[in-house]
Amino acid sequence: MSETLLSLVELLVNSANSPIKKCLTQLGRICFGIVIANHSYMKQTFFIFYIFTFCMILTSESDAQSGRLSGSDQKLISLIQQKAIESNTEELVIYKNNQPILTYSKSKSDSAFKEPISIQSISKTWAALAYLSLSYEMNKDLGLNNKLTDFSVNLLENLTEDKKHISVKNLLTHTSGYIDLQNMWQFPDVITLFVDKPLDFQPGTTFVYSNTASSVLGPVIDSMVSDRRDQSNQIQDPVMQFLTNKFLKEMNIKDVFWLRDQNGHLQTSGGIYTSAETLLKFGTLFLNQGVWNKKTLIKSDIFNAMTNTRTAGSKCYGLMLWIVDSKCGEISGHAEQFESFDKSRKKGFYMDGFGGQYVVVIPNSKIVAVRTQKKLDFENIEESMKLSFLDFPALVSKLK
């Protein structure tokens, strides 16, 4: 009997195909060696064998859930990796059930995964989370209906009557009344541009993506943080201090840098630098509906508002992130992302930035995917779009 049991353990050791399983099988072999040396403990042998087999079953099930891919998924993974290479992708990772099913690095360096880069418009999602969290902490309310004139921002006091009804929700859903100005960065102060420029359409009626309008969220957030700190609390950047205390410290994130413009305004339309590793954590936080290590970091009201709000004139946008499901139609300029997205799933959502920065979350499949592009050419938009891997979210959505 003892020889049979030892043979079984040796078989398990040799067939182990994951670090956890290898560890368990080695531990089992040691236990059997000790117990079988004393035959009077044969009952203990059977007990240990039972526990050991039970652990093996659990880890085998875990492997089946996280490490084994269907034939169709393997083909998709190969296609995604091929397109990553063709599009000059810097870093790309796809996690399923908290386990990597694809990792790609252009530099083939572990340090590159941790290197901060410009995440462009993914910064908008961070800005929305910062505003909503601040508002909830201060007033137990998301503050979506607050008007811009409700905040202590000097320049916004000069808004004309037709702009005084613009709400924070209009900024977060790109329904502010402003189209996007391609040359907005040439103006010395984007906030002054927002105040002086006439409305392009009635606020709240139409979805038009606008960096100009989303830039106004910066001084709004600054005014909220300034209002809540006393004179003795000397903080170099109170917004980052708030994010650190609320999210980053708990998630062991130390590489988020949020730039300000020449006028000191927080760049909410695209000013954050962070790493692919941190984006993966950020996506995982959203996959788990705001929970990190069993601790709720994003209030359920905030998470539900961000991922369930449907923008006027578009069923594909929530609060500073894209939502894709059966309700979502097509959006001009985003055809490749939406037309081939697997909308049969209950829901998927993603964040994207210029050049093909992506965080994709598919809750039903327990998938989080990140793609980054380091080399950005703002002088050649057309060429940058070619290297943006536009169908990355759609391909990820097809993984089962």
Q: Write out pLDDT tens, residues 69-118.
A: 888 899 999 999 999 999 999 999 999 999 999 999 999 888 889 999 99
- Predicted confidence at residue 42, as pLDDT, reads 53
Q: Between 300-308 and 122-139, two packed helices, what is the crossing angle to 10 degrees?
A: 140
- Predicted confidence at residue 219, as pLDDT, reads 92
- Predicted confidence at residue 5, as pLDDT, reads 47
Place of tokens 């997205």: 341
Of 324, 327, 388, 387, give the one whose Cα is nearest residue 360: 324
Share of the chain above pLDDT 90, in %: 52
pLDDT under 70: residue ranges of the chain: 1-68, 185, 226-236, 329-346, 378
Judged on CB neighbours under 10 Å (0-12, 13-18, 19+), 383 is exposed
CATH class of 116-320: alpha beta
CA-CA distance, 46 to 51, in Å (whole number)? Answer: 9
- Predicted confidence at residue 306, as pLDDT, reads 96
Residue type, 258: W
- Predicted confidence at residue 156, as pLDDT, reads 84
Residue type, 98: N
Q: Where do the structural domains in the chain lie, given as residue ranges?
A: 2-66, 116-320
Cβ-proximal residues to 334 (8 Å cutoff; 6+ apart), any chain: 316, 322
CA-CA distance, 41 to 123, in Å (whole number)? Answer: 63
Q: Write out pLDDT tens, residues 315-366.
A: 788 999 998 877 776 655 555 555 566 666 657 889 999 999 999 999 999 9
